[in-house]
Chain A
Amino acid sequence: MSLAQRVSEWTEAFRIALEQLRSHKVRSLLTALGVIIGIVAVTLMGTAIKGIDKGFTNSLDMLGQDIMYIEKWPWKDVGDEWYKYRNRKDIDLDGSTQINDWINRNPDSLLRLAVPSKGYGANIIRGDRSAPGIYINGTSADFTLMNTADLLYGRFFTHSEDISRQNVAIIGYDVAETLFPEGKEQAVGEDIRIRGLKFHVVGVLERQGSFLGLQSFDKQVIMPLSALLKITRWDRGNSIRVQVREGADSTLAMDELTGLYRRIRGLLPEEENDFEINRSAALEEQLGPVKSGLALAGFFVTGLALFVGAIGIMNITFVSVKERTREIGTRRAIGARRQAILLQFLIEAVSICLLGGVIGLGIAYGMKAVVSHAFPSFPFTFSTDLVILACLLSILTGVLSGLAPAWQAARLDPANALRHE
């Protein structure tokens, strides 16, 4: 069996498949429908999963991939153990000073910087306009060194404003949009009111976008901790944000911080941690089930559509074998090997599937374009690996559905096939 013969067998099989597609356009298209649906499903699902990933990563960047949050509650569903967390002591914001002292005394520390953060929810008022339920973050001037939020207009507050308890505020994008419809740049220098106190806006944050209901800077107001303390003494929303030194191993940094904060809390070795160190990476783990659920649904729909499609293609290939029994006999008599006949019908089935796959990809791409146009914020991504996956799935479907009829065709006795009417 020479290479030239094999090449000829393959090219002949492709030629026949194309000829079949051309002469049975409607039949091929109808048969490919199941595959089309399957490929649309798998592509859209893959696109959605990738989109969620991307949106989530954007949100995580906002939280800071390198920032650890010392808090009372973990960032996960606590279920029946909620009372254990509720009974923990609130976080004492002085801890941030102690951590910074430790960092200054230990040049080898994997930690870079700690800032206090007091969270509080309130309505923000300007004239007769109101932004309800805004998250207020009272922190230190070092917050800006963590680079989690960029300013669109104005500036951040200074150390001296913090120490002298100045009523200054940096407002999020959405807050600025609600309160200053005439233009966000107008906000800087204006006054807003929170719980009856007047605050001077010194900066507006860049738009961050939010995803899956995660807290976004867009609906936040940042102010000096000393100023927020005038409004509230409520400590339940306290946290200390600690940034890891660049390039440091996050697990080792977490160990260091855990040990350090245990000492600050004065815990005995046998006592459990009575605080939580949260990281954005932990949130990512929680997204896992959502993604796998979506993937499962996607693969179920895809699998079902491809299965139905495969049955259809198997059926039509059986019909094709029956219709062309005499042709098979002729080809065999002329010198085609069994493999050549097998290949011919396999490639015929695969080409119908590939046709379906390509059409499916086209439809999915069109749908993606429409969705992206209607909801520009939805992070839809269409990637080459999805295209490759779709093509591979089509080919696999074709091979699986073509195998039985092709095998039947190859096994035909040439003498009988020739007599077939």
Chain B
Amino acid sequence: MEPVIKIRSLRKLYHLGETEVVALNGVDVDVHQNDYMAIMGPSGSGKSTLMNIIGCLDVPTSGTYHLAGEPVDEMDDNELAHIRTRQIGFIFQSFTLLPRTTILRNVELPLVYSGISREERAERAAKALEMVGLRDRMLHQPNELSGGQRQRVAIARALVNNPSILLADEPTGNLDSRTGQEIMALFEDLYEQGQTLLVVTHEDDIANHARRSVRLRDGLIESDTAIPQPALARPR
């Protein structure tokens, strides 16, 4: 089967004044349907750059990137925005919910930018909130929720468009370990429902929840290993 993500010889250069920084120096990677992959590496290894490119927030300097069969590296800004609404669900370390805006409205936001009707938006957002167990909180505002709840709202927002991949950047970085485990349990559920997940992290604990670990160093893939499951028995 065609991979969801197919990346070949991906290079990304940054110009910092006179000097040229090589963030990615020829990365090849495939991500298949219902993969659960952790992207790891020390800071400066290029993992953020890779995540931005996979998330269509940035474009490569050279190389090819196909997302669900479409050549993303050739797209302009509007097409990238369109791809982001349809294919990608983002989850960030700092939740990035809009303040003074209801939970429901926050979750609806991706649907707003894809022009879905008001009724359908509310319906789908409520359904997504149901999946993360926060349906009863949908008329609350973000500052009325705990950190873990906020991150679950962010997950609902990422899921609301039925994206091909869920892209999480240090999703537990701002949470205590117990809440972090809750979030990872939620990811596990999503994985079991067939969701494709990419988690960027520098914590082995978090990475070990995944089925596959890709480790970057100096802009190159250092290792790409399968994590044997259920060797790491998930507490149920």
Contacts and interface: CB of A to CB of B under 8 A. Distances in A.
A407 B114 CA distance: 22
Contact of A335 (B48, B81, B94, B96): B81
Given A4-B116, A335-B84, A338-B78, 13 more contacts: A1-B82, A2-B115, A5-B115, A7-B115, A12-B112, A327-B96, A333-B57, A335-B81, A335-B86, A335-B161, A336-B81, A337-B77, A338-B77
Chain A: number of interface residues, binned into ranges: 20 to 34
A8 B108 CA distance: 12
Contacts of A333: 55, 57, 84, 90, 92, 96
B213 interface: no
Which residue among B78, B81, B90, B100 has the maximum number of chain A CB atoms within 10 Å of its CB?
B81
A420 B115 CA distance: 28
A331 B109 contact: yes
Interface stretch (A169-177, A373-381, A411-419): A411-419
A388 interface: no
Chain B: number of interface residues, binned into ranges: 20 to 34
A251 interface: no
A19 interface: yes
Interface string B90-122: 101010101011000000011011111100000
A358 interface: no
Interface in B54-99: 55, 57-58, 77-78, 81-82, 84-86, 90, 92, 94, 96, 98
B157 interface: yes
B52 interface: yes
Closest 7 CB pairs of A and B: A335-B85, A5-B115, A4-B115, A330-B96, A335-B113, A415-B52, A337-B81
A326 to B, nearest CB: 6
A332 B81 contact: yes
Interface string A1-18: 111111111001000000
Contacts of B48: 415
Contact of B117 (A1, A4, A331, A338): A4
Contacts of A6: 115
Contacts of B100: 19, 23
Nearest to B167: A333
Interface string B147-183: 0000000000100010000000000000000000000
A361 to B, nearest CB: 30
14 contacts: A5-B114, A6-B115, A12-B112, A19-B101, A327-B96, A329-B96, A330-B92, A333-B55, A335-B82, A335-B86, A339-B78, A413-B58, A415-B52, A418-B96
A415 B86 CA distance: 18
Main secondary structure on A side of the interface with B: helix
Contacts of A5: 113-115
Nearest to B48: A415
Given A330-B98, A333-B90, A338-B77, A414 B57 contact: yes
Contacts of B78: 1, 337-339
A6 to B, nearest CB: 7
Nearest to B111: A8
Contacts of A337: 77-78, 81-82, 113
A334 B89 CA distance: 7
Interface of B: 48, 52, 55, 57-58, 77-78, 81-82, 84-86, 90, 92, 94, 96, 98, 100-101, 109-110, 112-117, 157, 161
A340 interface: yes
A19 B109 CA distance: 15
Contact of A334 (B52, B77, B90, B115): B90
B43 to A, nearest CB: 12
A324 to B, nearest CB: 9
A1 B76 CA distance: 13
A285 to B, nearest CB: 56
Contact of A340 (B96, B98, B110, B113): B113
Interface in A1-47: 1-9, 12, 19, 23
Contacts of B112: 8, 12
Contacts of B161: 335
A307 to B, nearest CB: 32
Contacts of B157: 334
A415 B32 CA distance: 25
Contacts of B55: 333
A270 to B, nearest CB: 78
Nearest to B97: A330
A40 B75 CA distance: 49
A82 B110 CA distance: 80
Contacts of A414: 57-58
Interface in A307-361: 326-327, 329-340
Contacts of A23: 100
Contacts of A331: 109, 113
A334 B96 CA distance: 11
Given A332-B81, A334-B84, A338-B77, A8 B115 contact: yes
Contact of B113 (A3, A8, A19, A415): A8
A86 B77 CA distance: 79
Contacts of B85: 334-335
A333 B166 CA distance: 12
Contacts of A336: 81, 113
Nearest to A326: B96
Contacts of B94: 326
Given A23-B100, A327-B98, A415-B57, A334 B117 contact: no
A359 B159 CA distance: 44
Which residue among A5, A335, A339 has the maximum number of chain B CB atoms within 10 Å of its CB?
A335
Given A8-B112, A333-B84, A334-B157, A415 B98 contact: no
B92 A415 contact: no
A122 B39 CA distance: 106
